[in-house]
Structure 1
Amino acid sequence: MRKMRADARRNYERLLTEAESAFRTYGTDASLEDIARRAGVAIGTLYAHFPTRQALLESLLRERNDVVVAKADELLGELPADEALAAWARSVTAHTAAFRGLATSLMSSFDDESSPLYGACQAMTAAGERLVAGAREAGAIRPDASASDLFALIAAAAWVRETVSDEQAERLLTFMLDGLRRTATSPAW
């Protein structure tokens, strides 16, 4: 990749800053024209850096996605498999709830190889599969539970965080995680 000119780098950084602000305020459907205007550039400059909304999201989330993926292995090394799975699910839920609509964007990118978010989704899938496999091998979760199930629950939990209080969202996430447990009489996470 070619090194950016100083003015192009400033535009890129301003666009990311304004996109973060707009996505936090208005969700992932925020106006790209408004983002460009607030960054002080033409819409063509935004599209030159980020050809699609998904490309803008990928650039904005790249570092955070890497942190979430790395956290899976960190947790597996520190906690019992079921606790690592629950802690990571909570972390990914918070990450996915950063912007209203992000869960939908990520879920639609899991199988879409043309999406700029596809690579990040594949890395998260691999991390989730390691955690689910560890918990399954430990006998802590249902034998039929899959990483796909986990991500569907995480997406639902992220959506719930957009609509209810933090306390209720956490309680509902705990209910969902309890549903993955091998037995109904298992202790809470």
Structure 2
Amino acid sequence: MDDHTDQTRKPRADAVRNRERVLEAAKLVFSAGGSEASLEAVAKRAGVGIGTLYRHFPMREALFEAVYRREVEQLGELAEQLKNEKDPIEALRRWLHSGVAFVATKKGMMAALALAVQSGSELHAFSFERLTKAIGSLLDRAVAAGEMRADINPEDLLRAFFGMCYVHDQPGWQATALRLLDVFVDGLRVQPPGKAKARSSKMAKPATKRKR
């Protein structure tokens, strides 16, 4: 490889690294500071100049969309990794917990993303398809293992997940969402036949009359 080729490749590698640093910094800034977080704050956190940021993302909306797509793709990749976990229920639980961080970032960009992710948009279709596929792969594995009930589909589970994340919008909502998700996942587990039968018998047993 000659010097000229090496010099022409280095800027591209630097550009890729800078873009990733900006996206990671934007995720943190938007999650913490909401939609009003400045691009200057993102550039500072990423350790790049504001000019570098604007070269990659000329508009705030372009940065928001890139962060959103990156988060969706990472959740898809995480699902692939978690399919190798020994416990399919815990794999699903870990994915849902990671999804809470994704929603936190999305909430911070909600105003700018309102039009981009509206129903019927390309970005909405991309995210719904990718997330449904991710959560579906983990759900199918848990059902196949006989550890989770089979009467819930990936779309239902995804809607329930978002519902639990968006029903609370006060500071500290993440802790509430994580707790509700744990309760929800535990409720979907298949109970051992003996335990379920014993519970049914206990509920059906009539109350005995007190002797006078």
**TM-score with structure 1 setting the length:** 0.62
Q: Does residue 187 of structure 2 align to residue 179 of structure 1?
A: yes
* Per-residue CA distance 1:64-101 (angstroms, 9 max, x = gap): 33222111121111222222111111112222223535
Q: CA RMSD in A?
A: 4.3
Residue 78 of structure 2 is matched in structure 1 by 71
1:78 is paired with a residue of what secondary structure? coil
Q: Which piece of structure 1 moves more, 14-23 or 58-67?
A: 14-23
Q: Is the 8 Å Cα contact of residues 97 and 162 (structure 1) preserved in structure 2?
A: no
Q: 2:67 aligns with which of 60, 73, 82?
A: 60
Q: 1:88 to 1:16 in 2, by over 3 A?
A: closer
Partner SS for 2:89: helix
Amino acid at match of 1:30: E
Q: Which residue of 2 aligns with 1:126?
A: 133
**Once the two structures are superposed, what CA deviation does each residue of 1:99-146 show, in whole Å capped at 9, x if it has no partner?**
53568969x94953433x532432222111111111222222222211
Cα drift, residue 62 of structure 1: 3.5
Mapped contact 2:164–2:181 kept (Cα < 8 A): yes
Structure 2 gap ranges (5+): 1-10, 44-48, 197-212
- 2:105 corresponds in structure 1 to 98
Contact 2:29 2:41 in 1 (8 A): no
Match 2:146 to one of 114, 139, 160: 139
Alpha carbons of structure 1 residues 181 and 24: separation in structure 2 relative to 1, 3 Å: same
- Partners of 1:180 and 1:171 lie apart in 2 by 15
Q: Which amino acid aligns with 1:126?
A: K
Aligned-residue sequence identity (percent) comes to 24
Please report how far the alpha carbon of residue 57 of structure 1 lies from its aligned counterpart in structure 2 after TM superposition: 2.4
Matching residue's letter, 2:142? A
Equivalent residue in structure 2 for 1:148, among 125, 134, 155: 155
User: TM-score if structure 2 supplies the norm length?
Assistant: 0.57
User: Structure 1 110/86 Cα, relative in aligned 2: closer, same or farther at 3 Å?
Assistant: farther
Q: Distance in 1 between matches of 2:188 and 2:117?
A: 24
Instruction: Find out whether 1:170 has 2:178 as its counterpart.
Output: yes
After TM superposition, the structure 1 stretch with the greater mean CA deviation from structure 2, 177-186 or 56-65, is: 177-186
Quickly say closer, same or farther: Cα 1:144–1:165, change in 2 above 3 A. same
User: Which residue of structure 2 lines up, in the alignment, with residue 23 of structure 1?
Assistant: 30
In 1, are the aligned partners of 2:148 and 2:189 still within 8 Å (CA)?
Answer: yes
| Aligned mates of 2:92, 2:110 — CA distance in 1 | 19
In 2, are the aligned partners of 1:18 and 1:38 still within 8 Å (CA)?
A: yes
Greater gyration radius: 2
Q: Which runs of 5+ in 1 are unaligned?
A: none
8 Å contact kept, 2:78–2:95 = yes
